[in-house]
Amino acid sequence: MDGADALREACGVFGILAPGAAVARLTYDGLYALQHRGQESAGMAVADGTDLTVVKDMGLVTNVFTEHTLAALSGHLAIGHTRYSTTGSSTWANAQPVHRSLADGGHFALGHNGNLTNTTALAEKAGMLPGTVSSDSDALAELLAQAMGGGADLVTSLLNVLPEAEGAFALVLTDGQRLIGVRDPHGFRPLCLGRTTSPDGWVIASESPALDIVGASFVRDVEPGEVVVVGEDLSVRSLRPFPGVPPERKLCVFELVYFARPDSVLEGREVHGVRQRMGERLAAEAPISPPRPGNESCPVLVMGVPDSGLPAAEGFARASGLPYGQGLVKNRYIGRTFISPDQGQRDRGVRRKLNPLRENIRDARLVVLDDSIVRGTTSRQLVTLLRNAGAAEVHLRITSPPYKWPCFYGIDTGDPNELIAAQKSVEEIRQFIEADSLAYLSIEGLLGTVRGNDGGFCTACLTGDYPTEVPVPLGRASSPS
């Protein structure tokens, strides 16, 4: 699923402390590896021991930074950010890193992936006037700036402020001397720690491919509820500022289903292999139905919707003994447009991104693996596209259970009232998207395939079981069947 009604990731964060390295260029590379997590804006803050220079703008990483910009950004430490807005509008002011200069001459910069669920309370505590809070990250930064107002050190202030924050937050911060990574007590969003050896340094990033691209080796995940502080001497301290909150792993299950890169290692497992197992499991739970009369001689082709459906299709084909092939080509050069799409553009959404391989599809009974259905409009366009390309039948298999409840932890689902699975049964959805058959992976099947070394996943949008208080009352009583 990859169209106008796709789930959208909130952000990617990156940080590096490596004296002697070209940290701005490495941060550029790291952000480039995290581009899929946010395509509205990009930015970095670079420290040279005296100044903390922030460069940020709307657009893709490659649009925001030029050779010229990077050449001017020298330093030993940098943090960076790619953004898709969930709280706060898509404006330059909300691009990150957020930066604060303090009265005593101090400063800090912060990059945030996730979504705070108590922004109003944080803003009130920081004394911000209603209407002046541009985003959840802005409220957190303001509270932190106030805590540092009396000359307090960034880490000390952070340890005092963090227990006030609720919801999802994977953060990178710097005061110009230290690199800090933070993961909320549930670990909704991923964050990992890596090491460079030439020159010596440390890297913190949302996903492990951002370590690979800068030549850093994966050391470990930042633990839920952990603050990692890398000092100027490259020492690493691990702090736990959430007293009384037992770390409870609740990594977003959609990181494995859809958001994360296939080459990312999450919970100790490479995402590509996990997606293959989702397909294998679907083959057992929902094999292809018998051919319609007249289609008995049509060949079967198992195919995936690029990108996340491809490994799942491989797994489905392997487990079912059916042939695997490609049926769609993705246009890789589509960035996020800043112009709100009109209905005509929405209707063309799938055609702009995906084009069918007609010779593979023609007269075939297709088993199409995709990751999710949000509003249903994209899936409907996809089925039409495949039929127009000559498919004899289209059987859609989804590698997650029906998406029924809104996310409060950093994923934009659009209008919660438009979640099709909250309104319609699976059979009604099948009729709406005009597929020959439709099946979703069961929640047991999903959890069976994603369970990693440490287990524990958020499945709130699939089950309605929110791991934390959420801003509006939502529960089983008001939930769809």
Confirm or reject binding of residue 407 to ligand SF4 (CB under 6 A): yes
Binding marks (x or -) toward ligand SF4, 209..248, rule CB under 6 A? Answer: ----------------------------------------
Q: Does 396 bind ligand SF4 (CB under 6 A)?
A: no
- Scan residues 246-265 and list those touching ligand SF4 (CB under 6 A): 252-254
Q: How far is the CB of 467 from ligand SF4 (least distance, A)?
A: 8
The yes or no reply on residue 411 touching ligand SF4 (CB under 6 A) is yes
Options 229-237, 296-304, 372-380, 456-464: segment touching ligand SF4 (CB under 6 A): 456-464
Interface mask (CB under 6 A) for ligand SF4, residues 183-202, using x and -? -----x--------------
Q: How far is the CB of 252 from ligand SF4 (least distance, A)?
A: 3
Segment interacting with ligand SF4 (CB under 6 A) among 72-80, 279-287, 430-438, 459-467: 459-467
Q: Which of 82, 459, 468, 470 binds ligand SF4 (CB under 6 A)?
A: 459
The nearest distance, CB 277 to ligand SF4, in angstroms, is 18
Of 11, 252, 458, 461, which one is the catalytic site residue? 11
Contact positions with ligand SF4 (CB under 6 A) in 336-375: none
Least distance CB 184 / ligand SF4 (angstroms)? 11
Residue 109 near ligand SF4 by CB under 6 A: no
For the CB of residue 134, give the shortest distance to ligand SF4 in the complex, in Å.
22
Task: Tell me how far, at minimum, the Cβ of 166 lies from ligand SF4, in Å.
Answer: 14
3-state secondary structure the chain: CCCCCCCECCEEEEEEECCCCCHHHHHHHHHHHCHHHCCCEEEEEEECCCCEEEEEEECCHHHHCCHHHHHHCCCCEEEEEEECCCCCCCCHHHCCCEEEECCCCCEEEEEEEEEECCHHHHHHHCCCCCCCCCCHHHHHHHHHHHHCCCCCCHHHHHHHHHHHCCEEEEEEEECCCCEEEEECCCCCCCCEEEEEECCEEEEEECCCHHHHHCCCEEEEECCCCCEEEECCCCCEEEECCCCCCCCCCCEEHHHHHHHCCCCCEECCEEHHHHHHHHHHHHHHHCCCCCCCCCCCCCCEEEEECCCCHHHHHHHHHHHHCCCECCCEEECCCCCCCCCCCCHHHHHCHHHHHEEECHHHHCCCEEEEEECCCCCCHHHHHHHHHHHHCCCCEEEEEECCCCCCCCCCCCCECCCHHHCHHHHCCHHHHHHHHCCCEEEECCHHHHHHHHCCCCCCEECHHHHCCCCCCCCCCCCHHHCCC
Any catalytic annotation for residue 252?
A: no
Per-residue binder mask for ligand SF4 (CB under 6 A), 12-51, x = binder: ----------------------------------------
| Number of shown-chain residues binding ligand SF4 (CB under 6 A) | 11
Q: Is 458 in the site for ligand SF4 (CB under 6 A)?
A: yes
Known catalytic residues are 11
Give residues in contact with ligand SF4 (CB under 6 A).
188, 252-254, 407, 409, 411, 458-461
